Amino acid sequence: MATAAEDVAAAIKAVHDADRRGDRAAAIALAAALRSRFPAEPTGYRIGAKNLRISGRLDEAEALARAGMQLSPDKSWPLVEMAWTEAARGRRAEAIRWAGDIRARFPAEQSGYRVASAMLRLEGKLDEAAAFARDALARFPGEAWPWTDAAALAQARGEWDEADGLWAEVRTRFPAEPAAYVGGAAMHSRHFRLDAAEAMLLDAIARFPGHRDVLKALAETHEKRGKLDVAAKRYGELRDRYPDLLAAHLGLAEALARMGKRAEAEAACREAMTRLPEAGAPHATFVTLAMKGGDPGTALARSLAAHRLFPRDPQWQQRAETARRAVAAQIIERRRASWQGRPARALARTMGPALRRAALRSRTLWRHWSTAPGGFASRLRRAVVAEIVRRNEYARPLEICLATGDRVIADPSRDLVIARQFLLAGHYEAGLTRWICRRLKPGQTFIDVGTCYGHIALAASRAVGPAGSVIAIDASAARIEALARAIEHNRCGNLKSVWVAVGSHTGVARFALYSSNPGASRLAWRGISETGDEALALLDGLTVVDLEAPDRPRMLTDAERREARVVLVEVPMRTLDDLAADTGRPIDLIKMDIEGAELEALRGATRLLDGAFGPPPTITLEYSTLFPTFGGRRDEIFALFAARGWTAWRFEKGKARGGRLVQIASDTAAPAHDDLVFAPPGKSPADDA
């Protein structure tokens, strides 16, 4: 018969084995059994708390950690679990406080430094984080994590060469450390060297078969490269190996959704709901998929079910209300469109292709549909567009009269975003356009940096009048050539187009031109190959307009992804300071939408910002996490303006719809992807919102 000591040892071994396998459910169950049979054995508390924390059951993890403090007051692990649990909750200040307690009581415990360094880095307190990293390297030279922390810190500072070197150093010193490969691949991915990232992770998966972090990073890299079928298989493998890993379930669902397999994506969400009943994210993903799929009824039912499961989470009431409004709007629109649209649809069908194209560019029709959105002219325009789409008559460039009354030439068959919005709605980023036109007064000067089709510049030219001036700047020669024709067609004598990239210095720059989304064209970053293949990965994070279902933005299909091209060209580069000096007059307003190069442009505008050419202008610019910030970090834009005492504002309803301007105090309050307005001291742009 086994002794009590042998029973304890066997139970402890079973818990450790499950923990090492990464079988969270088994580890949690075995730890609970161990605590029940041997309540004085700390292993059941320690392993149970760790696996509950990793599984997202944070309240239970905290309860076990606090019980561990009573049971083992002379041990560090309860404090360590409390620190990591608070970090998982996003309570960084509390996590830092617990880390301080660990260092004070257990100076040899590494987690006291590790938690503090990670949380300070996430808080943006990089100097303090660097101090902890240096201390950790001195105290624990034989450990890999201080090196990985130092590399991650260099990344956070935007010191890419140093970070690259540190990740290489980690792989040399600690070849058996998976984080060295995951971190190095992340650096390659950050610079869109996706071939190199994928190769490094494939090497890592061969070294560490089935390792959770390596497998997850490899699946994400496949997805960024547009290999959605391969990514789905990797996420499926990750889910099968680690069934309690939420990221595996959500990654699989999102990859399937991007492949157009909505039913399979929803099934993946349902499996996650069953496997992880305490997680709200699978329900949220399911609701998002249903809304994007044009099925608000299903989204409403799931939101209400989630509200019953998570009554304290306010998001479900908000999601249910959004879905309820969408259901009501869908019913009303279907009924209204059914009877009101019949005459317009009949007329659009009887028109020939030439007449339909003429209707698109007609200013007479525009005067009616722009002033009466619910009238016959508006219904006729929608019917004409629907007929053009149905008959595939958009396969060549169209001249389109926009909601502003300006005409532009656009090709919806090639440009899957802006041109299609012009065709369907007659506008793009209408809220921002309205605000700019209200802000500008006759006789003022406006600079549009990243003008693309020039639709905002054309509208602004009327706002400033004959005595005013508009300068439209773009690095695409084709776009500038098209804009020159539009200037002539629209008789905008006060609008000048300039072919140039805007940056921190004068010279020559490489520019990446996107075939399927000209608005995403941008400065080419360091390390991009001559083929531009890495740059295509940026398109995978952007939605495109589906002409058949315009209310449901979607990702690129595999076929569209294969057809997408990036052409690298050399273009002249000048600074905003030089361009402003050339105008010979004060600049009143600047709009910048240059896909992540806004910081680079602002570094070449210091004299303009400091009032060298008259009162500093108000500046509106795109502020986004969807793509990297050229030459630095996004928050450096905020710091650059804050150092001069400027204020920052966001659009209450976003740049598409506008609304009033709301002042924000810091980068953390900024939206993930929208335009912000920065106003110099003494100016308030809110009056013009």
**Residue 547 · residue 389 · CB < 8 Å:** yes
Report the side by side order of strands in the sheet with 495-499. Answer: 495-499, 469-474, 445-449, 589-592, 618-624, 673-679, 647-651, 661-664
Task: Answer positive or negative: Cα dihedral of 475, 478, 480, 486.
Answer: negative
Higher per-residue pLDDT: 449 or 657: 449
Specify the CATH superfamily of domain 430-510+573-688.
Answer: Vaccinia Virus protein VP39 (3.40.50.150)
Structure tokens that stand for 176 in this block: 């058996």
- Please give the pLDDT value at position 368: 81
What share of the chain in percent tops pLDDT 70?
Answer: 92
Backbone angles phi, psi at 279, to 5 degrees: -95, 130
Task: Compute the average pLDDT of residues 221-244.
Answer: 88
What b/e string do you get for 76-97 counting C-beta neighbours within 10 Å, with b at 16 or more?
A: bbbbbbbbbbbbeeeebebbbe
Domain with CATH 3.40.50.150 in the chain: 430-510+573-688
3-state secondary structure of 634: coil
> In this predicted structure, what is the pLDDT of residue 525?
61
Residue with tokens 């509106």: 620
Residue 448, classed as helix, strand or coil, is strand
At 514-540, the pLDDT tens digits run: 877 888 888 876 555 544 555 556 565
**Alpha helices of 584-657 — where are they, by DSSP H?**
598-603, 606-609, 635-642, 654-657
Which one-letter DSSP state was computed for residue 76? S
E strand or H helix that includes residue 411: none
Contact by Cβ (8 Å): 50, 42: no
Q: Which of 271, 284, 199 minimizes the C-alpha distance to 236?
A: 271
C-alpha torsion sign, points 442, 444, 445, 449: negative
**pTM of the entire predicted model:** 0.63
Integer Cα distance of 472 and 498 in angstroms: 6
**Segment 609-618 mean pLDDT:** 94
Question: Token digits for 3?
Answer: 């002794």
pLDDT of residue 505 exceeding 80, the answer is: yes
* Sign of the Cα pseudo-torsion (100, 101, 102, 106, in order): positive
Give the pLDDT confidence of 12-59 residue by residue, as tens digits.
899 888 888 777 888 899 999 999 988 889 999 999 999 898 877 888
Give dist(CA 164, CA 184) in Å, integer: 7
pLDDT digits (tens, 9 = 90+) for 458-481: 999 999 999 999 999 999 998 999
Q: Is 552 exposed, middle or buried (0-12, 13-18, 19+ CB in 10 A)?
A: middle
Look at 34-38, 192-196, 598-602 and tell me which has the smallest mean pLDDT.
192-196
| Backbone angle region of 563, left / alpha / beta, with phi > 0 → left and psi within -120 to 50 → alpha | alpha
Give me the amino acid identity at 19: D
Render pLDDT for 536-584 as a digit per residue (tens, 0 to 9): 565 655 667 777 666 666 666 667 766 777 788 899 999 999 999 999 9
Answer for the pair 204, 178: CB distance below 8 angstroms, yes or no: yes
Q: ∠665-670-674 over CA atoms, to 5°?
A: 140
Note the pLDDT tens digit of each residue in 480-491. 999 999 999 899
* Residue 394 β-bridge partners: none
Strands 407-410 and 398-401, by their bridges, are antiparallel
Q: At a CB cut-off of 8 Å and minimum separation 6, what does 318 contact?
A: none
The yes-or-no verdict on residue 689 having pLDDT over 60 is no
Tens of pLDDT, residues 333-372: 666 655 556 788 788 888 888 888 888 888 888 888 777 7
pLDDT at 336: 63
Cβ-based neighbour number of residue 331 at 10 Å: 12
* Element at 425 (helix H, strand E): helix 418-425
Confidence of residue 1 (pLDDT cuts 50, 70, 90): very low
Give mean pLDDT, residues 600-618: 94
Q: Which of 451, 521, 447 is nearest to 483 (CA)?
A: 451
